[in-house]
Structure 1
Amino acid sequence: MEDSASGRTKPRIHALGRTDVSRNQGKFRTHFNFPGRALPDHGDHGYGPLATVVESFMDPGTLIRMHQHREEEIISWVPAGVMRHDDGEGNELVTDPDHLMVMNAGEGFWHAEETLDDDPPLRMLQIFVRPHSLGLEPGIQHEPIPDPTPNAWRHLFGPEGGDAPLYVRNEVDFYDCRLDADATVSLPSKPGRDTYLYVFDGAVELEDTSLGYTESALVTGDGDVSVTATEDSTLVAFSIDPDAPVTRQGTIGR
């Protein structure tokens, strides 16, 4: 149904099961989530500026040697444990539940990732955003983030010049939420934006759609959509402008 005032449709939920795209490199394993696959015949694995959301696992004592990323924004979200970063600019950084890292790769940025032998097993998300332009200045952001509030969305990154703690160079806002069993929140939404929800842990009801562990949904259209946890859950959500200009030359997040 279309809202005649805005020209946008009322909210519609497009659910996705757990991804079947994975890579097993022994001590480093990844599962690729593609929001564009929620729409039949969409023709793009990504959705606007959001290219892919990667569930990454690193065993203790894992080193991913120095390598280069180009033409993409890479966000490391670590809800538990630590991810250790080294880069060609001399930064040695630890990303953990109290810090978020955004690597604005631009025209090229070299980095390595590591867990030490006495670090806990790591499960994290690495988020790949398509920038609006090619050849941008490379850089890195590593910042403390606000303490989470139970049953409320925490705004962690957004477009450059916005009010989020960190920024990316396109029209995507990112939120996380620890939702107690039986608690309800409204999905983050903005006029003219669509929202991609990913269940990192737990299970929820998205209106009348059930989503479990590592399942996701793309919500298109304008209006409030409620999310109710059927067990304690950790959620992430992306508010996306599907019509934003994008580039598609990233090392991974094409």
Structure 2
Amino acid sequence: MKTILHKAATRGHAGHGWLESWHTFSFAGYHDPARVHFGALRVLNDDTVAPGMGFGKHPHDNMEIVSIPLEGDLEHSDSMGNTAIIRQGDVQAMSAGTGIVHSEKNKNSDQPVRFLQIWVFPNKRNVEPRYDQKTFGADEKNNRLLTVVSPIGSPDGGVQIHQDAWFSLGKMEKGLALEYACKKDGNGVYAFVLEGDVTINDIVLNRRDGLGITEENRISIRANTDSEILLMDVPL
């Protein structure tokens, strides 16, 4: 087993007044040659957008983009004609493919919106852009790992993307132990702690820490406190 630990405080940071963004991997003005990507996982941004503010229309292409709201309401609009509100419990995926233009803003004028913005390299270029969004009940991930992202055509559930990648969310009570098995030989797993403290394969992680694991097919997770965790199982 090989691991790479990214403590929360070592992430890149961008403060724009209306936006506070923490970058696990190189993004925009933050560049660390040792932290460009983890296999197909290219971007993991932990964003807070001020009330009523947001990202104006901007383009993307040939990237799989996953948004996971943690608090508040995020309003989405795109050139495919989709307009939607994504909230805590929702997961959104866009295949940018040949090119899309979209905007994201905080729907509310009285509270911030917090969400994860995640980019994954696709396994097919120049596909037709597509949009996918699903809602998951809080009880679906209580004391288990719930698949919320899976490959196009997979029976595993969740929103689907053009990559052999699976994302799982879990909400664990203190003392609970879970095991995760990699979905595909040769994949690695990047674990990101949303809340609480956990131990993964004997490595202690705290809130917003990240841990990349390679050359290991099974991962043991123990909740040291009530915790929430995101696992991203991606090709290397």
TM-score range, shorter chain: 0.7 to 0.9
Pairwise mapping of residues 136-215 of structure 1 onto structure 2 (< 5 A)? 136-145=127-136, 147=138, 148-163=140-155, 164-190=157-183, 191-215=185-209
| Aligned AA (2:177) | T
Q: Which has the higher strand share?
A: 2
- Asked whether the equivalents of residues 81 and 119 of structure 1 are also in contact (C-alpha less than 8 Å), the reply is no
Give 1:106's match in structure 2, choosing from 81, 84, 97: 97
Q: Can you give the 5+ residue segments of structure 1 that lack an aligned partner in the other structure?
A: 1-10, 36-41, 243-254
Q: Which residue of 1 aligns with 2:30?
A: none
Query: How far did residue 20 of structure 1 move?
Result: 3.0
| Counterpart-to-counterpart distance in 1, 2:12 and 2:146 | 29
Q: Which residue of 2 aligns with 1:59?
A: 50
Does 2:111 align with 1:120? yes
| Counterpart-to-counterpart distance in 2, 1:72 and 1:99 | 20
Q: Which residue of 2 aligns with 1:6?
A: none
Q: Which residue of 2 aligns with 1:32?
A: 23
Q: What is the identity percentage for the equivalent residue pairs of Structure 1 and Structure 2?
A: 22
Q: Which residue of 2 aligns with 1:94?
A: 85
Q: Which residue of 1 aligns with 2:230?
A: 236
| Counterpart-to-counterpart distance in 1, 2:202 and 2:79 | 48
Larger radius of gyration: 1
* Residues 32-58 of structure 1 deviation map (CA, whole Å, 9 limit, x = unaligned): 1139xxxxxx96711221112111111
| Counterpart-to-counterpart distance in 2, 1:74 and 1:119 | 27
Go from structure 1 to structure 2 and tell me whether the alpha carbon gap of 1:74 and 1:58 turns closer, same or farther (over 3 Å shift).
Answer: same
**TM-score, reference length from structure 1:** 0.82
Q: Count residues in correspondence.
A: 226
Query: How far did residue 188 of structure 1 move?
Result: 4.3
- Asked whether the equivalents of residues 74 and 107 of structure 2 are also in contact (C-alpha less than 8 Å), the reply is no
| Counterpart-to-counterpart distance in 1, 2:53 and 2:226 | 30
Q: Which residue of 1 aligns with 2:29?
A: none
**TM-score, reference length from structure 2:** 0.88
- Asked whether the equivalents of residues 44 and 119 of structure 2 are also in contact (C-alpha less than 8 Å), the reply is yes
| Counterpart-to-counterpart distance in 1, 2:192 and 2:117 | 13
| Aligned AA (2:231) | A
